[in-house]
Amino acid sequence: MHCSMEDLPEAVLAEIVKRVTRTSDLNSISLVSKELYTIEAVQRGAIHIGCGLCPATEALTSEALTSICSRFPNLWKLEIDYCDWIPSHGNQLDNQGILVFTSRCPSLTDLTLSFCSYIDDSGIGCLAYWKNLTSLRLNSAPKITSNGLLSVVVGCRSLSTLHLNDCDGIDSIKWLEVLGLEGSLEEFVVKNCKGISQYDLLKFGPGWMKLQKFEFETKGGFWGRAVEYDSSYNAHNLNRYDFRCENLKDLRLARFETWPEIGLRFVLGKCKALEKICLQYVHALNDNDMIALSQSCKNLKSISLWLRPYFYDGYYRTPFTDDSLKALARNCPMLTTVELAFVCCSSDYPSETGFTHKGLLVLIQSCPVRVLMLNGAHFLKDEGMKVLCSAPFLETLELMFCELITDVGMRSIAQIPCLSNLTLRWCENVTDVGVAGLVLGRKLESLTIQGCHQVSQQAMQGAARSVRYSTDAPSHAFHKKMYY
């Protein structure tokens, strides 16, 4: 017996719609029949508005927005994104549009505004009456200032997630003090906001105790200047900050300068629950900070260090040494993911990285490291590659810009007992001969080779169940992300 979609029970149709995640597919489903049109509208909880996003082609009048709100009665997430917008695309959603959503979508709890040049403090102030708002993300919002954000902080006491990215109009710390004293923030991200410094963030005070995720990155590249190593500095004894970060699990600090006993470096010795940390070009940290971190964070599972060298004690190196790796090995028994990335370190002087293969050996023998990513790790020559054979749990290895690794070092990779995923990017001294050893092993699940010009695509065949090959040079976007 023939059965059409209309013959299926409404509950079954609703379950089908729930399993469709792509917006374009949901839009297509709604065109199949009136019943699916209605069910899809009721089931949809998130919509995008803006340049290139649904419903970008609709006129953004109050009547059109009211129609959208009526069609999707259960909206809980709204993203408004005008990236790459130009005037010929039509009007952007403005303050009046925000007012329509706040008044007609009572279930909305999650709002993202990106490149919204028509929304200012008046529009963002409407959110103060949106008592159920739990997540707010502002990306490149030039007209929103501290006054508008203060209105949100005072009115939305359920706010648990706040992201500020490239919001140069926000600089006052009053909103930050209120948020720390009376808010319930669990995820806090501040990136590229020139009016907010690491010292302003200290005004968050008791709010630090509730945070589970925190990111801070300054605007533009940061290179800093040489700072004398202070051997008397005690990373455990930052008495001027009496608040703690007991619940912080995810921490990322990037591209700023910190000094002994001031600034955000205090966080490193105060977050006992930390599981994931990323430090990207945080200038003036040293081994003492890493030792304090390792002793406080027994639950640490993932660490990412992006480093560049400076002058220390008369020679050129990054701020961390093997003492940091040994401290992690000694104090972090749950560490499974390690990323070490080095920029401006010369392959002619491997000591500039600050690390040696002996320090890495201690780490991978003491911790259950399953994922290891090394970028510009010139300390790991062919001889040093042998230490990777001592990594009993290593499953995923990524080597990028490791110029001193040759086919000799590739023999050691083939002997890593549990390795199943290998990525080589711009390792120019690896050839088909080195890859041939992987083919003989026949134990890899995946192999990715990019920009290794002495390796041919034919040499990869049979080296893994899944292979990806590219001769692409590092893109401008990659260099900007990695080096600036």
pLDDT of 187: 98
Q: How many CA atoms lie within 13 A of 183 on its CB side?
A: 34
Which of the four pLDDT bands, split at 50, 70 and 90, describes residue 476? very low
pLDDT of 226: 47
**Backbone torsions φ then ψ of 321, nearest 5 degrees:** -130, -170
Tokens 């940091």, residue located:
324
pLDDT of 284: 86
Do the beta carbons of residue 205 and residue 173 sit within 8 Å?
Answer: no
Q: What's the mean pLDDT in 309-322?
A: 87
Which of the four pLDDT bands, split at 50, 70 and 90, describes residue 244? confident
pLDDT of 248: 96
pLDDT of 330: 97
Please write the tens of the pLDDT for every residue from 49-100. 887 544 444 446 777 888 888 888 888 999 999 998 888 777 888 999 999 9
Stronger pLDDT, 57 or 130, i.e. the higher one: 130
Please spell the DSSP secondary structure of 192-219, one letter per residue: S-TT--HHHHGGGGGGGGT-SEEEEE-S
| Residue 143 in this model has a pLDDT that exceeds 90 | yes
Stronger pLDDT, 25 or 421, i.e. the higher one: 421
Cα→Cα distances 428→308, 452, 469, Å:
22, 5, 14
Please write the tens of the pLDDT for every residue from 436-474. 888 776 689 999 999 999 999 999 988 899 999 999 877
Do the beta carbons of residue 209 and residue 247 sit within 8 Å?
Answer: yes
Do the beta carbons of residue 301 and residue 336 sit within 8 Å?
Answer: yes
Which of the four pLDDT bands, split at 50, 70 and 90, describes residue 266? confident
Please write the tens of the pLDDT for every residue from 283-303. 889 999 999 999 999 999 999
- Give the Cα separation of 299 and 248 in Å (integer): 11
CB atoms within 10 A of CB 94: 16
Rg (the chain; Cα; Å): 26
266's tokens: 């205090």
Which of the four pLDDT bands, split at 50, 70 and 90, describes residue 47? confident
Stronger pLDDT, 23 or 105, i.e. the higher one: 105
Stronger pLDDT, 196 or 74, i.e. the higher one: 196
Helix, strand, or coil here: 33?
Answer: coil
pLDDT of 56: 43
Do the beta carbons of residue 284 and residue 255 sit within 8 Å?
Answer: no
Write down all domains in the chain, each with its CATH number in brackets. 1-44 (1.20.1280.50), 301-484 (3.80.10.10)
What percentage of the chain carries pLDDT values higher than 90?
Answer: 60
Mean pLDDT, the chain, whole residue set: 85
**Backbone torsions φ then ψ of 337, nearest 5 degrees:** -125, 125
Helix, strand, or coil here: 248?
Answer: coil
| Residue 426 in this model has a pLDDT that exceeds 90 | yes
| Residue 310 in this model has a pLDDT that exceeds 90 | no
Q: How long is the chain?
A: 484
- Give the Cα separation of 75 and 70 in Å (integer): 10
Beta bridge partners of 50: 53, 81
- Give the Cα separation of 438 and 396 in Å (integer): 14
| Residue 480 in this model has a pLDDT that exceeds 50 | no
